């Protein structure tokens, strides 16, 4: 009989693993997930709320795909894992035996013990249930607060604005996302936030959430002593691995489920992938827990290979990512530090209207290109990747810039202007 693989979690990592397992093997595959029967794109949650799409539009595969590919789906919650006996226990009481187990349980929203954090109308934004409660508690309201200046935070702001809700945005840092982004990029986003008439409060933390008699949030108290009336509070202060149910099972965990380079846990037949996995030894320049879409994809595929015995180490290549802040698109390739250190140099260019910006980063001594940030500009992944692979020097990157242009046809070019201002500053490099 074919070995039985049970995958817990039908997010991008679990589903990618299941699909590749199906391609590579004849194994019996079951995906168990509590949130929804069908895989949907978590990254599209905001668009459902904003009315760009319905939930069904966010499903990357039609419902018949799973049966066609003999991937079993079970919408159940897993209560405990029994790694020594090779079975899991569902909350509904059933036991399911497995030969291989894949843990792909994702994350959940952080809460840091604030008074009032469990009130009605206070929540994070991670799953479909969050979307439902957000729908319920924001209907007809005038004021909302968003606490935490990360990517999910700013998406939540945009969501609320789409319903004409005035948003108070508390950001601990003194400029938006400046732990990740250099000051200029961060400042571009601050401006956008103000432009959208958001009450952005930089350098401000949440102290407490107040409520009415029914236990519904009515106001927040900030670290600066201000009280802000609002009937909805989104806590978007990061996410952490969703692993409570494996904590006492014997599977090693820290913040996440500990895995080696093969995505294997301390049990040979148990793997962990995606947001819930934590690397014992992170790859150079990468974090121990990677909470992005594409790494979940690569991890899912890598685990599938290891399960069928095609040994494969996790190797995601160069870092890249993208996001959108209101109407401003952002892409990054390679490594761009938030602050310049001794060994690196960088150059920032912005167009006159302040709608586009491009930062190139290189190693000071060798002039080797290290990474870039593109704001309001689309760049070609393959070209940027080649520059990184080939240790291309910065003068060549500047010269070849237009090769990487991925803006739609007829968009105004920025390369000449960029090159001119770069040359003015760094003649020594280009000559």
Partner 1 sequence: MHPDINLSIASHSATSSLNIKMKTGLALVSLSLILLFLALFNQIQHPFLLIIFFISTVAGSLLYTNGLYANTTAGIKNNGVMFKSISSRGAIAWVLGVALTALYILLYWYPQLLGLHDKANTGLIGFFDPVSKLLNGHAASQWFVYGVLYTLAIILLGIKFIYKYRHNAYQVKRTISVMFFQLVIAFLIPEILGGLNMPYNDFKNMWPLNYYFFYDWHIDQLLGSGSFGMFVLVWGILSVVLISPVLTYFYGKRWYCSWVCGCGGLAETAGDSFRHLSSKKVSAWRIERVLIYSVLFFAVLMTALVIYQYFTKQSQVLFLDSFKVREWYGFYIGAAFSGVIGVGFYPILGSRVWCRFGCPMAAILGIQQRFFSRFRITTNGSQCISCGNCSTYCEMGIDVRWYAQRGQDIVRSSCVGCGVCSAVCPRGVLKLENGPIKTKKLEGPILYQDGEFKIVE
Ligand X SMILES: Cc1cc2nc3c(=O)[nH]c(=O)nc-3n(C[C@H](O)[C@H](O)[C@H](O)COP(=O)(O)OP(=O)(O)OC[C@H]3O[C@@H](n4cnc5c(N)ncnc54)[C@H](O)[C@@H]3O)c2cc1C
Give the residues lining the site for partner 1 (CB under 8 A).
12, 20, 23, 41, 43-44, 47, 50-54, 57-60, 62, 135, 139-140, 161-164, 195-196, 293-294, 297-298, 301, 315-318, 320, 322-324, 326-327, 329, 331, 378-382, 385, 388-389, 406-412
Helix (H) or strand (E) holding 228: strand 227-229
Q: Quick one: tokens of 146? A: 């968003």
Which one of partner 1, ligand X, none is in contact with 58 (Cβ closer than 5 to 8 A by kind)? partner 1
Least Cβ distance, residue 79 to ligand X (angstroms): 7
Spatial CA neighbour of 211 closest among 119, 332, 301: 119
Does residue 329 belong to the site contacting ligand X (CB under 6 A)? no
Q: How far apart are CB 104 and partner 1 at their closest, in Å? A: 16
Alpha carbons within 13 angstroms on the beta-carbon side of residue 210 total 11
Stretch that binds ligand X, among 11-19, 168-176, 336-344, 372-380 (CB under 6 A): 11-19
Q: Which is nearer to partner 1, 78 or 375 (CB)?
A: 375
User: Which does residue 385 touch among partner 1, ligand X, none (CB within 5 to 8 A, set by kind)?
Assistant: partner 1
Question: In 3-state terms, what secondary structure has residue 176?
Answer: coil
104 is in the binding site of which of partner 1, ligand X, none (Cβ under 5 to 8 A by kind)? ligand X
Residues whose CB falls within 8 Å of the CB of residue 3, separated by 6 or more in sequence, listed in order: 27, 28, 99, 100
For ligand X, the closer CB: 24 or 128: 128
**Residue with Cβ nearer ligand X (12 or 397):** 12
Non-local (6+) Cβ contacts of 55 within 8 A are: 40, 48, 128
Contact at 8 Å (CB) between 192 and 325?
yes
What would the x/- binding string for ligand X be over residues 46 to 85, using CB under 6 A? Answer: -------------------------------xx-------
Task: Tell me whether residue 202 or residue 328 sits nearer to partner 1 (CB atom).
Answer: 328
For residue 332, the surrounding DSSP H or E stretch is strand 328-334
Answer for which of 6, 11, 190, 298 binds ligand X (CB under 6 A) is: 11
Judged by beta carbon, residue 143 or residue 163, the one nearer partner 1 is 163
Out of 7, 9, 27, 171, which residue is the one contacting ligand X (CB under 6 A)?
Answer: 9
In 3D space, the residue among 174, 143, 140, 139 whose CA is nearest the CA of residue 157 turns out to be 143
Nearest residue to ligand X on Cβ basis: 106
Which residues in 227-256 contact ligand X (CB under 6 A)? 242, 245
The dihedral of CA 266, 272, 277, 281: what is its sign? positive
**Where in 28-165 does DSSP place strands (E)?**
28-32, 71-74, 78-82, 87-90, 95-97, 100-103, 107-109, 122-123, 143-147
- CA nearest 349: which of 337, 361, 367, 365? 361
Is 152 near ligand X (CB under 6 A)?
A: yes
Residue whose CB is less far from ligand X, 232 or 349: 232
Name which of residues 20 to 39 contact ligand X (CB under 6 A): 32-35
Nearer to ligand X, 333 or 347 (CB): 333
Dist. CA 13–CA 119, nearest whole Å: 32
Q: Which residue from 149, 150, 296, 357 is in contact with ligand X, where contact means CB under 6 A?
A: 296
Give the distance between the most distant pair of CA atoms in the chain. Answer: 72
245 binds, among partner 1, ligand X, none (CB under 5 to 8 A by kind): ligand X
Q: Does 335 bind ligand X (CB under 6 A)?
A: no
Q: Which phi and psi angles does 408 have, rounded to 5°?
A: -60, 160
Closest to 276 (Cα-Cα) out of 7, 84, 3, 5: 7
Q: Tell me which of partner 1, ligand X, none is bound by residue 13, counting a contact when its beta carbon lies within the kind-specific cut-off of 5 to 8 angstroms.
A: ligand X
Neighbours of 49 (CB within 10 A): 21
Cβ atoms 12, 274 nearer than 8 A: yes
Contact 75, 34 (CB under 8 A): yes
Query: How far, rounded to the nearest angstrom, does the alpha carbon of residue 326 sit from its chain's CA centroid?
Result: 17
170-209 footprint of ligand X as x/- string (CB under 6 A) = ----------------------------------------
Binding site for ligand X (CB under 6 A): 8-14, 32-35, 42-43, 45, 77-78, 104-107, 125-126, 152, 155, 242, 245, 274-275, 291-293, 296, 323
């Amino acid at each position: 009989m074919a070995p039985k693989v049970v995958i817990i979690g039908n997010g991008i990592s679990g589903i990618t693993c299941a699909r590749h397992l199906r391609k590579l093997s004849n194994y019996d595959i079951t995906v168990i997930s509590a949130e929804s029967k069908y895989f949907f794109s978590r990254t599209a949650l905001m668009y459902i709320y904003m009315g760009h799409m319905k939930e069904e539009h966010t499903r990357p595969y039609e419902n018949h795909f799973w049966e066609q590919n003999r991937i079993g789906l079970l919408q159940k919650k897993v209560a405990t894992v029994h790694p020594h006996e090779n079975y899991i226990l569902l909350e509904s009481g059933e036991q399911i035996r497995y030969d291989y187990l894949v843990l792909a349980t994702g994350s959940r929203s952080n809460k840091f013990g604030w008074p009032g954090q469990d009130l009605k109308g206070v929540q994070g934004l991670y799953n479909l249930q969050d979307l439902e409660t957000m729908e319920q508690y924001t209907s007809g309201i005038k004021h909302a607060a968003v606490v935490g200046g990360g990517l999910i935070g700013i998406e939540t702001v945009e969501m609320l604005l789409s319903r004409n809700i005035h948003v108070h945005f508390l950001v601990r840092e003194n400029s938006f996302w400046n732990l990740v982004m250099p000051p200029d990029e961060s400042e571009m986003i601050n401006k956008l936030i103000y432009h959208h008439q958001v009450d952005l409060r930089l350098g401000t933390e949440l102290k407490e959430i107040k409520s009415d008699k029914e236990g519904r949030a009515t106001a927040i108290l900030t670290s600066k002593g201000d009280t802000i009336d609002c009937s909805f509070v989104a806590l978007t202060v990061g996410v952490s691995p969703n692993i409570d149910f494996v904590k006492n099972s014997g599977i090693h965990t820290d913040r996440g489920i500990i895995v080696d380079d093969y995505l294997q846990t301390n049990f040979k037949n148990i793997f962990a992938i995606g947001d819930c996995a934590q690397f014992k030894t992170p790859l150079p320049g990468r974090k121990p827990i990677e909470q992005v879409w594409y790494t979940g994809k690569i991890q899912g595929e890598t685990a599938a290979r290891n399960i069928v015995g095609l040994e494969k180490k996790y190797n995601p290549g160069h870092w890249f990512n993208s996001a959108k802040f209101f109407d401003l698109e952002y892409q990054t390739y390679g490594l761009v530090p938030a602050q310049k250190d001794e060994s690196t140099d960088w150059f920032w260019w912005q167009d006159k209207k302040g709608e586009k910006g491009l930062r190139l980063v290189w190693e000071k001594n060798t002039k080797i290109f290290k990474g870039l940030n593109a704001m309001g500009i689309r760049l070609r992944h393959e070209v940027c990747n080649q520059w990184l692979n080939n240790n291309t020097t910065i003068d060549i990157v500047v010269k070849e810039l237009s090769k990487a242009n991925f803006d739609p046809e007829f968009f105004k070019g920025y390369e000449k202007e960029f090159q001119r201002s770069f040359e003015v500053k760094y003649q020594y490099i280009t000559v």
